[in-house]
Amino acid sequence: MTLDAAAVTGWFREHARDLPWRRPGFSAWGTLISELMLQQTQVARVVPVVEEWLRRWPTPADLAAASQADVLRAWGRLGYPRRALALHACAAAIAERHGNRVPEDVDELLALPGVGDYTARAVAVFAHGGRHPVVDTNVRRVLARAVDGVAQPAAPSARRDLPAMSALLPEDLEEQRLFNAGMMEIGAVLCTARAPRCDECPLRRSCAWRAAGSPAHDGPPVRRQPRFEGSDRQRRGRVMAELRASDVPLTEAELARAVPEAARILEGLERDGLAARAEGGWALPA
DNA sequence: AAGCCGGGGGT
DNA sequence: ACCCCAGGCTT
């Protein structure tokens, strides 16, 4: 055995954070919403928004009946608003093709917009109790350290990552669910990329990385990410904020006061379905 | 395989 | 002031 699954589930039973999507009775639809929101956004920012969404749109059909503009406004500042449109499209597909119930089958989940390898399995496991490996970046880091003894995982590869996690999954249905959740939780709160809290880790006694003296990453340098300040991502965010805040269409000149490159940015937003030409200017899509 | 896509939090 | 974070999609 290369990793003590019981240590993970035991720790998780005791130390799991109390989060809305872990409450008993939280719906499968709520799980799909929260997983989409959590794809790139921190837990603390997601919590109030997912609760508001569920009050407002308790089933997929409810969300499907909303306008894209209302959905984008409710998305607020969570970032990457294409996810809001994806969720809206998920709602329509589920209402029309799946009887208003979130699918349990991984391949059916993968067919939904915005749902990839991670989200499909997370929903199958956490919403429906299915037995599947759930691999996000936290899990990949925990496996890299605890099993492989290196500081950072190799480039993501579903062909390698899924079988690696699968081999460690407990047979018991409840245990595998806790194991999947526990591995993510360890990666999120203990086995963090920087300053891991190994002293509190349930895997500290068997961790290959710790046993090797926690060597620094020795591979090629991690790719540096582009600056956000002055980026088109920042400009797009600013234009979207203007459109969300206005009840009436805004002219290109008005938007250019907030973002000088508004004309070019709007072309991109229109291509992505996030902005639409309206009388006298631009607005959120209807 | 690499680049794009928001916004906030930690150091 | 700077660096880090992270899943899905497109090219």
pLDDT band at A222 (very low <50, low <70, confident <90, very high): low
Position A270 in a domain: yes
**Residue A250: CATH number of its domain:** 1.10.10
Position A107 in a domain: yes
**Structural domain that includes position A76:** 28-126
pLDDT digits (tens, 9 = 90+) for A108-124: 999 999 999 999 999 99
Clarify whether residues A121 and A156 are in a common domain: no
- Does A116 contact strand C, using a CB cutoff of 7 Å? yes
Instruction: Answer whether residue A86 shows pLDDT above 90.
Output: yes
Q: How many domains does chain A have?
A: 3
Mean pLDDT along residues A28-38: 98
Could you say which nucleotides of strand C lie within 7 A of any protein CB atom?
A: 3-9
Instruction: Answer whether residue A272 shows pLDDT above 90.
Output: yes
Instruction: Answer whether residue A241 shows pLDDT above 60.
Output: yes
Position A242 in a domain: yes
Position A279 in a domain: yes
Clarify whether residues A46 and A82 are in a common domain: yes
pLDDT band at A224 (very low <50, low <70, confident <90, very high): confident
Nucleotide B1's nearest residue (CA vs C1') is A155
**Residue A84: CATH number of its domain:** 1.10.340.30
pLDDT digits (tens, 9 = 90+) for A65-78: 999 999 999 999 99
Instruction: Answer whether residue A221 shows pLDDT above 90.
Output: no
Clarify whether residues A45 and A111 are in a common domain: yes
Please name the residues in contact with A266: beta carbons below 8 A apart, sequence gap of 6 or more.
Answer: A239, A252, A255, A275, A282
Position A5 in a domain: no
Distance A60 CA to C2 C1' (A): 42
Clarify whether residues A36 and A105 are in a common domain: yes
CA distances from residue A98 to A33, A60, A90, A102 in whole angstroms, order as listed = 16, 10, 10, 7
Element (H, E) at A13: helix A5-15
Position A194 in a domain: yes
Instruction: Answer whether residue A219 shows pLDDT above 90.
Output: no
Which runs of E-coded beta strand occur in chain A? 276-278, 281-283
pLDDT digits (tens, 9 = 90+) for A153-164: 998 999 999 999
- Does A195 contact strand C, using a CB cutoff of 7 Å? no
pLDDT band at A1 (very low <50, low <70, confident <90, very high): low
- Does A138 contact strand C, using a CB cutoff of 7 Å? yes
Q: Are A166 and A130 in contact (CB under 8 A)?
A: no
Clarify whether residues A110 and A154 are in a common domain: no
Question: Which of A126, A147, A171 represents a domain boundary (last residue)?
Answer: A126
**Residue A145: CATH number of its domain:** 1.10.1670.10
Provide the pLDDT for residue A280. Answer: 86
Structure tokens at A189: 């709160």
Residue A168 CA to residue A184 CA, distance in Å, equals 14
Clarify whether residues A111 and A192 are in a common domain: no
- Does A33 contact strand C, using a CB cutoff of 7 Å? no
Clarify whether residues A120 and A39 are in a common domain: yes
Position A155 in a domain: yes
Clarify whether residues A102 and A143 are in a common domain: no
Clarify whether residues A158 and A104 are in a common domain: no
Radius of gyration of chain A (CA): 21
Instruction: Answer whether residue A220 shows pLDDT above 80.
Output: no
Mean pLDDT along residues A232-243: 96
Position A15 in a domain: no
Clarify whether residues A80 and A144 are in a common domain: no
Q: Has A171 been annotated as catalytic?
A: no
Which carries the bigger pLDDT value, residue A226 or residue A122? A122
